Amino acid sequence: MAQSPYKGEYQTFIGLEIHIHLLTESKVFCGCRNVFGSEPNTNVCPVCMGYPGVLPSLNEEAVRKAYQVAMALNCHLNEKAVFERKNYFYPDMPKNYQISQFEYPFGINGWFDLELAGGSTRRIRIHDVHLEEDAGKMIHEGGISKLDYNRAGTPLLEIVTEPDLVTGEEAEAFVQQFRQMVRYLGVTDGNMEEGSLRCDANVSINESGKGLGTKTECKNLNSSRFIKKALEYEIKRQTKVLNSGEKIIQETRLWDEGKSRTSPMRTKESSNDYRYFPEPDLPPYRPEKKYLSEIESSLAELPRERRIRIMEEYGLNEQQALFITAEKSMADFFEKTVYLKNKADTESDSNKIDTAFAGTVASWLSGNVQKILNDSGLSIENSPLSSDRLLSVLNLIENGKISAGIGKKVIGVVFEKDTEPEDIVKDLGMDQMSDTGELQGVVSAIVDANPKIADAIRDGADKQIGFLMGQVMKATSGKANPGMTRNLIREKIFKQGYISEDKKNA
């Protein structure tokens, strides 16, 4: 074995190539439907199948969404965007070339502030943002490869970072935060399991201070966790190769989750191998300044900015704000619920926010509501629970008509039957028990059945009241008014001079 010429610590360089399917009605260069899950080869036409003599037509909505991402990533926008043919032969590419961008993409030289553990950030440079068409899909079954061209021609936006990431954990965090950003923008659904967000990772190591090493590309990374694991494996593998005195081979490698390792796929191509040249059927795209200004003004508030604002305006702590803003739909739901309450309570001053109520909404969303969403596999935007319905439940609790425990049950029924909270409470008889005479009888029976607990409370163990309250709630199916129950328990034990038989006989 040759002696390694490398000494000291290695430096790691990681760059990502992230591809996102844009949410458009039709494909990027033809009128075929852009939809996931159709029967194979039903959303195809002569244009996306590359028939001779056909002409591509650029999708304006795809262009708009490409500029939105480029702006959100702080890119310099080129005065002209040129489409080029990327030539390669593969069964899933019916034209034997891909319409892409190379020299003049939509955006270049951008940056993204990656939030790291501990609250710090590090700026990751963005090389470019370019628009292209996706290839078809190969399906391998029983030794036979089948081709579905429904995906061919889907608008695919590629975001290429500079090699500024240094660990698999950082790469995982980048993909997660980037996905959150583009979902906030509404340009993609970001479902990695469906392939609408895909990522290839380039990694190299070299002695510290000597710059980039020979890179390998990791493919087949359909989750952020796989990205982390594949890069960690590849860094260890490359370190072992260099330490043994051998050289890294520039190649594309596949991640095998079953074996938790990468394996060689093919020798890595360079840009010259693709023989790029301008697409003769598409003229350069030259956006007007007014058009770009309109797009910029329409950009959604991004996650980090929204999280900071929500903490300041609504008085949420960081943990609550992180949960609320993790998905735009949840943040929208939260703010609408607080707005509706505020509008009803403060007609003369609609800008005044009840921070205590905001905290209550955040607690319900992160607790009971999120649990039901997880169990049902739903998201907040496609669930039967609306901001109006959650507000109705919270108002019923505030007005003493139901308890918090009953409120949780009501929300469960909302999800189950898709009906109004007030109707649920009425139809199922969930109204809170607030009749003093009726509740007093239940409390008296519970206290008499637990003499030792009552004696402990008389001796100063006030926390034991919680046990008796729990027994009352159990006896009334959670319908007892909590405040009234506590008062009646204390009245029974103290004001009525309650003494247990044990005390009498002592």
Looking at the structure, tell me whether residues 88 and 227 fall in a common domain: yes
Domain match, 269 and 389 both = no
- Residue 3 in domain: no
The beta-carbon contacts of 442-448 under 8 Å, at least 24 apart in sequence, are 442/472, 442/475, 442/476, 442/480, 443/468, 443/472, 443/485, 443/488, 443/489, 443/492, 444/492, 445/475, 446/471, 446/472, 446/475, 446/489, 447/489, 447/492, 447/493, 447/498
| Residue numbers of the chain with a pLDDT score lower than 50 | 1-6, 348
Structure tokens at 6: 């490398």
Boundary of a domain, candidates 271, 291, 311? 291
pLDDT given for residue 500 in this prediction: 57
Q: Is 298 within the bounds of a domain?
A: no
Residue-range definition of the domain harbouring residue 25: 10-291
Domain identity same for 199 and 68: yes
Does residue 445 sit in the same domain as residue 402? Answer: no
Question: What are the angstrom distances between the C-alpha of 247 and each of 202, 210, 417?
Answer: 17, 15, 64
Q: Could you tell me the CATH number of the domain that includes residue 500? A: 1.10.10.410
Counted domains in the chain: 3
In a domain, 1, yes or no: no
Residue 296 inside a domain? The answer is no
Summarize pLDDT for 334-366 with one digit per residue, the tens. Answer: 999 999 998 887 664 556 789 999 999 999 999
Residues 69 and 118 grouped into a single domain: yes
In a domain, 441, yes or no: yes
Q: What pTM did the predictor assign?
A: 0.85
Q: Are residues 125 and 181 in the same domain?
A: yes
Shared domain check, 323 and 410: yes
Residue 231 corresponds to which tokens in the numbers above?
A: 């890069």
Note whether 37 and 68 are same-domain residues. Answer: yes
Query: Domain ends where: 263, 291, 319?
Result: 291
312 and 368 inside one domain: yes
Give 3-state DSSP helix, strand, coil % of the chain, rounded to 5.
45, 20, 35
The predicted structure's pLDDT at residue 225: 94
Q: Which of 394, 427, 460 is the last residue of a domain?
A: 427
Quick check: is 340 in a domain? yes
Residues 56 and 97 in one domain: yes
Residue 258 and residue 379 in one domain: no
Residue 2 lies in a domain: no
Task: Judge whether 230 lies within some domain.
Answer: yes
Which of 369, 346, 360, 345 lies closest to 314 in space, CA to CA?
A: 360
Question: Do 394 and 498 lie in a common domain?
Answer: no
